[in-house]
Structure 1
Amino acid sequence: MGAANIRVHPHWPDRYVDLLNDAFSLRKVVVLHGHQRMIMERLDLSQREHGLLKGALARFTEIDPNLPWFNALRFAPADEEEVRHIQIPHNLRPNYMSLFFTFHINEHLLIFEHRGAGNSYLSPKMALAYFVELFSDEALSEKYGPIAVSMVADKDQLDAIIGIPHLKKLRIYVKRPNPDDLSGYDAFWEDKLVRQGATSIEVSYEAEGNESIRPDEETRQLAEVATRNGEIDASGFDAQGNRIKRSTSEHPTLEPLRYDPENTTHEQAFRSAAFSLVRRIMSGIL
């Protein structure tokens, strides 16, 4: 499982429900890469009163019937007669994969399957690209304003990123957090941005010569907020003088899940584990 943090302002719970429902109603197909496409296949609002939305994403391949065809038996291009007999209904798409997701309304966290049943697969980069493109639709942005999406980074990697032995460059980028459910650092930086009329903050440090950057407490706090609401990039050298580059974008939260199919279904196991992952993120364990 992976986790995405979705944020709108003002951030009332009902607005998140409306946002997901409106996004689903668009029936928007998003290009992942090449011929790969994705669409929100299903959205269940029946548990909204319990702070939960359930759904599924469909991933499939878009075929261009006008491109040349290849005959794998003859190891040669298909001729006109062979192509003439190809009939694919206009509403069918091959290589279908279905991946569950849950949206936890109060925490505005979306948990998605990274690897699902069979060969279904969705990388965090693909998930981020999909939701950014989906929520950038003009109909949604006009109604809800800017909609920020961030992959939740693996917090365990934070010390490794900003703790490079000879840290030469450090960039921290934070989109405006939602502090309703996260006290402390998130609330502090959200208030700081609001007071200055800003929606994001980017801080960059660079050391010259033999100096190394030594992040202070405020910088570390901002970096922690960035694991949920932005990204961190760092570069420098290890103790042996080897160049190092690290980024939170390379270390998204990915939670493994194993279950016994004789005692529970795939979907039940995912839903249960998603709740556990959300609790860990919100408690600061991840």
Structure 2
Amino acid sequence: MPRPSKIEVSAVNLRIPADKPRDYVGLIEQLFEARIAIKVYGDSFIAITQFHKESGLGVFSKYSEIDIDGSWFDLEDFGPAEQGKVDEVSIPDNLRPNLSAFYFELSEEAHVLAFETYSESKGLSARSVEKYFGAALRHSSIVSKFGRVEADIVKSYGEVERIIGLPNLKELKIVIRRPNPDDISGDLAARIEDRLSEQNGEEYVEITRSKDDKGLKPNDRSKKLAIVGAENGEVTGKSIVNGVQVDHTTKEKPEKVVDTYNKDEVDTRTMFRKLAGRLVKAIKQRRATT
């Protein structure tokens, strides 16, 4: 019996400013057509290499940029390669090594892009995707048409709730970059966007501290605000554990769905779309409560 294949899916929340056409299909299509590749860490780059606007399905490609002119290692001699052997190396200028591909799917209604973070025994970190969008969305061709588009990984709702419920919580900090409230979002996100727009602001920060031995007891508003922060920024907290201050953050804790499947019974794309749909549905449900 074949070993089950594992797949993980996370999501990035995209927000086009209110004074620009909120055409998310057009946004991803332009990123694809512009062939924008972004260095995300080390020698790794990410680019959108496929996108079908009718289905919203596309592909992130991750590849490496290597220094061909640098020094080479000879495994046979187990030392620096001789120049004669190096001179025999010929790699076409348009080719790059270590390619891996990951599906993504755009939900226009929710302005959320779900993507594979683990599939086919290969990984694409949520942080790398966030870095890709952070840089690609500042490309002049994107800014001229869509303005300053925000992109944040949807953080773990469970981690948000854990931070809010910490015993002896001394500080709760909620950072919200301009949200994009729509017909499936709550009133709180709309009020935050209006407040930022009125003052030409880009980021809303709310910090609550307690010096009392009992710690903070976040109210319903703070809990809802933290859920908005999970999608549009981040939530951090400080608590006292055994007399020592401990920091907590959602920064490296993306919301994700994980499952396994038998590749003899279902293909990877079908399984991805199933999980992507599940994740987007969960995000919509959370928004409905804020």
**TM-score normalised per structure 2:** 0.89
Q: 1:232 aligns with which of 230, 235, 240?
A: 235
Which secondary structure does the structure 2 equivalent of 1:10 belong to?
coil
Q: 1:115 aligns with which of 118, 139, 145?
A: 118
**Higher relative contact order (CA closer than 8 Å, sequence separation 6+):** 2
Sequence identity percentage: 27
Which secondary structure does the structure 1 equivalent of 2:259 belong to?
coil
The residue number in structure 2 matching 1:50 is none
CA distance in 1, matches of 2:92, 2:214: 65
| Contact kept? 2:20, 2:147, Cα under 8 Å | no
Are residues 1:175 and 2:183 paired? Answer: no
Question: Which amino acid in 2 is paired with 1:127?
Answer: V
The residue number in structure 2 matching 1:241 is 243
Shift of 1:11: 7.8
The residue number in structure 1 matching 2:202 is 199
Flag structure 2 segments of 5+ consecutive residues without an equivalent.
Answer: 1-8
Q: 2:268 aligns with which of 266, 271, 284?
A: 266
Q: 2:34 aligns with which of 26, 30, 33?
A: 26
Q: How big is each residue's C-alpha offset from its partner over 1:154-192, in whole Å with a ceiling of 9 and x where there is no partner?
A: 111222112222222222100121111212332332333
Shift of 1:86: 0.6
The residue number in structure 1 matching 2:4 is none
Are residues 1:185 and 2:182 paired? Answer: no
Flag structure 1 segments of 5+ consecutive residues without an equivalent.
Answer: 48-52
> Structure 2 matches for 1:1-286, cutoff 5 A?
1-10=9-18, 15-47=23-55, 53-117=56-120, 119-180=121-182, 181-208=184-211, 210=213, 212-238=215-241, 240-284=242-286
CA distance in 2, matches of 1:99, 1:244: 36
Shift of 1:216: 2.8
**What is the root-mean-square deviation in Å for CA atoms of aligned residues?**
2.1
Change (3 A) 1:130 1:263: same
CA distance in 2, matches of 1:13, 1:280: 26
Shift of 1:243: 3.0
CA distance in 2, matches of 1:250, 1:205: 22
Which secondary structure does the structure 1 equivalent of 2:169 belong to?
strand
Change (3 A) 1:179 1:11: farther
Which secondary structure does the structure 1 equivalent of 2:118 belong to?
coil
Question: Which amino acid in 2 is paired with 1:167?
Answer: L
Change (3 A) 1:251 1:11: farther
Q: How big is each residue's C-alpha offset from its partner over 1:6-50, in whole Å with a ceiling of 9 and x where there is no partner?
A: 000238886211111111111111101111111111111133xxx
| Contact kept? 1:13, 1:105, Cα under 8 Å | no
**TM-score normalised per structure 1:** 0.91
CA distance in 2, matches of 1:272, 1:211: 44
Q: How big is each residue's C-alpha offset from its partner over 1:55-96, in whole Å with a ceiling of 9 and x where there is no partner?
A: 001111111111100111111111111111111111111111
Q: How big is each residue's C-alpha offset from its partner over 1:248-284, in whole Å with a ceiling of 9 and x where there is no partner?
A: 1132112102223222211111112211211111111
Which secondary structure does the structure 1 equivalent of 2:89 belong to?
coil
Report the structure, 1 or 2, having the larger strand content.
2
Change (3 A) 1:274 1:11: farther
Which secondary structure does the structure 1 equivalent of 2:161 belong to?
helix
Question: Which amino acid in 1 is paired with 2:35?
Answer: R
| Contact kept? 1:131, 1:149, Cα under 8 Å | yes
Question: Which amino acid in 2 is paired with 1:156?
Answer: G
| Contact kept? 1:232, 1:247, Cα under 8 Å | yes
| Contact kept? 1:103, 1:110, Cα under 8 Å | yes
Moved over 4 A (4+): 11-14
